[in-house]
Structure 1
Amino acid sequence: METKHIHIKDYNYCLPDERIAKYPLAQRDHSKLLLYKHGEVSEDVFYNIANYLPKGALMVFNNTKVIQARLHFRKTTGALIEVFLLEPYMPADYEQMFQATGKCSWLCMIGNLKKWKEGQLSRTFDVNGTIVTLTATRREDVGKSYRVDFEWDSDTISLAELLDSVGELPIPPYLNRETQESDKTTYQTVYSKIKGSVAAPTAGLHFTPEVLASIDAAGVDREELTLHVGAGTFKPVKADEIQVHEMHTEYICVHRETLEKLIKHNAEAIAVGTTSVRTLESLYYMGVKLESGLELTEADLHVCQWEPYEGPVAAAAANVTPLKAIQNILAYLDRHGLNSLHSSTQIIIAPGYNYKIVKMLVTNFHQPQSTLLLLVSAFLHGGDWHKIYDYALSHDFRFLSYGDSSLLIP
Structure 2
Amino acid sequence: MIRLSDYDYKLPKELIAKYPVEPRDACRLMVLDRKNKSIKHRMFRDIIEYTEEEDLLVLNDTKVIPARLIGKKETGAKIEIFLLRPFSDNEWEVLIKNIKRLKAGQKVIIGEGFYAELIEKYDEGKAKVRLYGEDINSLIKKYGHIPLPPYIEREDEEKDKELYQTVFAKKEGAVASPTAGLHFTEELLKKLEEKGVKKAFCTLHVGLGTFRPIQTEDITKHRMHEEFYQIPEETINLIQETKRKGKRVIAVGTTVVRTLETYAKTGKKEGFSNIFIYPPYRFEIVDALVTNFHLPKSTLILLVSAFAGREFILKAYEEAVQKKYRFFSYGDAMLIL
Offset, 1:343? 0.6
Equivalent position of 1:135 in the other structure: 115
Tell me if the contact between 2:211 and 2:299 (Cα under 8 Å) persists in the aligned partners: no
2:277 alignment partner in structure 1? 349
Out of 23, 33, 42, the position equivalent to 1:27 is 23
What's the RMSD between the two structures over aligned residues?
1.5
Alignment of 1:260-299 (within 5 A): 260-266=237-243, 269-287=249-267
Q: Which residue of 2 aligns with 1:114?
A: 100
Shift of 1:234: 1.6
5 Å-filtered alignment, 1:7-406, equals 7-37=3-33, 38=35, 39-89=37-87, 91=88, 100=89, 104-123=90-109, 125=111, 133-144=113-124, 145-152=126-133, 154=134, 157=135, 159-266=136-243, 269-287=249-267, 301=268, 341-381=269-309, 383-406=311-334
Cα separation, 1, equivalents of 2:270 and 2:299:
24
- Give, in whole Å, the separation in 1 of the partners of 2:307 and 2:220: 19
Secondary structure in structure 1 of the residue aligned to 2:147: coil
Moved more, 233-242 or 272-281: 233-242
* 1:140 to 1:118, Cα distance in 2 relative to 1, 3 A: closer
Q: Which string of whole-angstrom CA distances, capped at 9 and with x for unpartnered residues, describes residues 160-206 of structure 1? A: 22211111110001111111111111000011000000000000110
**Cα offset for 1:118?**
3.6
The size of the alignment, in residue pairs, is 331
Post-superposition offset of 1:271? 0.1
Residues 118 and 27 (structure 1 numbering): CA distance in 2 closer, same or farther, change over 3 Å?
same
- 1:6 is displaced (CA, Å) by 0.9
Unaligned runs of 5+ in 2: none
Q: Specify every segment of 5 or more residues in structure 1 that has no aligned partner in the other structure, as ranges.
A: 92-99, 126-131, 288-300, 302-340
- The structural deviation recorded for 1:383 is 2.5
Deviates more, 1:253-262 or 1:62-71: 253-262
Matched, 1:408 2:330: no
Asked whether the equivalents of residues 73 and 121 of structure 1 are also in contact (C-alpha less than 8 Å), the reply is no
Query: Could you state the TM-score of these two structures normalised by the residue count of structure 2?
Result: 0.95
Distance between the aligned counterparts of 2:310 and 2:68, measured in 1? 41
Alpha-carbon distance between aligned partners in 2 of 1:135 and 1:117, rounded to the nearest angstrom = 15
Tell me the TM-score normalized by structure 1: 0.78
- Pair member with larger Rg: 1
